[in-house]
């Protein structure tokens, strides 16, 4: 008999369509005397015009005619993408007999290739972050003169020309598929090499990131008040294995926000010191269906409460409170929570 607890999904081509597009209006030109059209021409020269991958197809597709990518130049050598260099490069001769190279690839690799100053790197990283916040991937473009006129020569200094933005739209069925998986109690994880900001934006588009959608609304405005409401309920009995069950059941998300970390530590510390009621805390958890059967079974020993735990590995989960609950004691808390389920879990080293 088989089962599944965790579903790991790739991002590109799985949650997204893997159909990239380039927005010319968002081209950031770094080199003086270079316009956006020439940037796209350089990027197209550093692309294959046959047997293209999705990035090459998107770049060359911005030209009026794909043949423009090699028009007026003679190709000497093309360096295809590889996991080490993370860029593609074309060595070519122009109509005047001068040798050049054009390269496009991962911004970090291109910046290192161009040996940029730290202030220039900071400016470029700021643009990359701005793109990422909109769910856009960044692609850098550079160029080089080759006075030695040989394909093996090192050539002159590389010039950082521009940053391009690439958009990969989410699949229309991704959100519903993830919703169904979560409803069945399957823990969905996105495995990707993209930046965190891009992953969050994809998550918002596909509903994979319940944390991202509700974190500011719920955690920072509500969790401290919940702590205050619960701290008056003192523990009076021996603990049960509630926390151990929760550890095995809860979805794990990672927080980097210092205020959120501090807030979660407050709650975990109060639970650990026996200052919060197990019963009230459990009612918050029971609203989330994947936890409900397990937590209901944990609730059977009446009058059992949490106790201090010795492990340095702690976690906390605050899901959405059940709106069907008629208990007046929790009514004011219910009205302050956003609509829909929420799971927030953190591994805390205390």
Mean per-residue pLDDT for 118-126?
A: 92
**pTM for the whole thing?**
0.54
SS (H, E, C) the chain: CCCCCEEEEECCCCCECCCCEECHHHCEECCCCCCHHHHHHHHHHCCCCCCCCHHHHHHHCCCCCHHHHHCCCEEEEEECCCCCCCEEEEEEECCCCCEEEEEEECHHHHHHHHCCCHHHHHHHHHHHHHHHHCCCEEEEEEEEECCCCCCCCCCCCCEEEEEEEEECCECCCHHHHHHHHHHCCCEEEEECCCCHHHHHHHHHHHCCCHHHHHHHHHHHHHHHHHHHHHCCCCCCCCCCCHHHHHHHHCCCCCCCCHHHHHHHHHHHHHHHCCCCCHHHHHHHHCCCCCCHHHHHHHCCCCCCCCCCCCCCEEEEECCCCCCCCCCHHHHHHHCCCCCCCCCCEEEEEC
Give the per-residue pLDDT at 271. Answer: 54
Mean per-residue pLDDT for 227-253?
A: 39
Mean per-residue pLDDT for 305-333?
A: 36
Average pLDDT, the chain: 67
Residue 251, pLDDT > 60, answer no
Give the per-residue pLDDT at 172. Answer: 72
Does the annotation mark 10 as catalytic? yes
* Domains of the chain, earliest start first: 20-167 (3.40.1110.10), 209-349 (no CATH)
Give the per-residue pLDDT at 158. Answer: 96
87 vs 4, which has greater pLDDT?
A: 87
Which of 10, 35, 94, 129 is the catalytic position?
10
């Amino acid at each position: 008999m088989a089962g599944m607890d965790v579903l790991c999904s790739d991002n590109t081509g799985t949650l997204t369509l893997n159909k990239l597009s380039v927005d010319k209006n968002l081209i950031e030109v770094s080199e003086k005397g270079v316009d956006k059209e020439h940037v796209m021409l350089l990027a197209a020269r550093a692309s294959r015009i046959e047997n293209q991958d999705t990035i090459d197809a998107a770049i060359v597709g911005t030209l009026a005619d794909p043949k423009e990518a090699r028009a007026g130049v003679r190709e000497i050598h093309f360096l295809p993408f590889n996991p080490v260099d993370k860029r593609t490069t074309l060595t070519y001769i122009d109509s005047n007999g001068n040798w050049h190279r054009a390269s496009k690839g991962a911004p970090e690799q291109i910046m290192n290739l161009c040996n940029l100053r730290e202030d220039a790197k900071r400016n470029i990283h700021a643009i990359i972050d701005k793109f990422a916040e909109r769910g856009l991937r960044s692609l850098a473009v550079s160029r080089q003169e080759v006075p030695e006129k040989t394909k093996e020569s090192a050539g002159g200094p590389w010039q950082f020309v521009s940053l391009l933005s690439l958009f990969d739209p989410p699949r229309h069925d991704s959100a519903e598929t993830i919703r169904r998986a979560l409803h069945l109690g399957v823990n969905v994880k996105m495995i990707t090499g993209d930046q965190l900001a891009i992953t969050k934006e994809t998550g918002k588009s596909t509903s994979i990131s319940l944390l991202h959608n509700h974190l500011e609304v719920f955690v920072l405005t509500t969790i401290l008040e919940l702590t205050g409401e619960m701290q008056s309920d003192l523990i009076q009995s021996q603990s049960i294995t509630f926390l151990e069950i929760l550890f095995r059941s809860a979805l794990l998300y990672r927080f980097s926000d210092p205020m959120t970390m501090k807030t979660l530590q407050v709650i975990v510390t109060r639970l650990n010191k026996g200052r919060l009621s197990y019963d009230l805390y459990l009612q918050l958890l029971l609203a989330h269906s994947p936890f409900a059967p397990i937590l209901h079974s944990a609730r059977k020993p009446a009058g059992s409460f949490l106790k201090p735990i010795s492990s340095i590995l702690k976690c906390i989960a605050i899901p959405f409170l059940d709106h069907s609950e008629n208990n007046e004691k929790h009514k004011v808390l219910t009205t302050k929570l956003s609509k829909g389920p929420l799971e927030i879990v953190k591994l805390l080293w205390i």
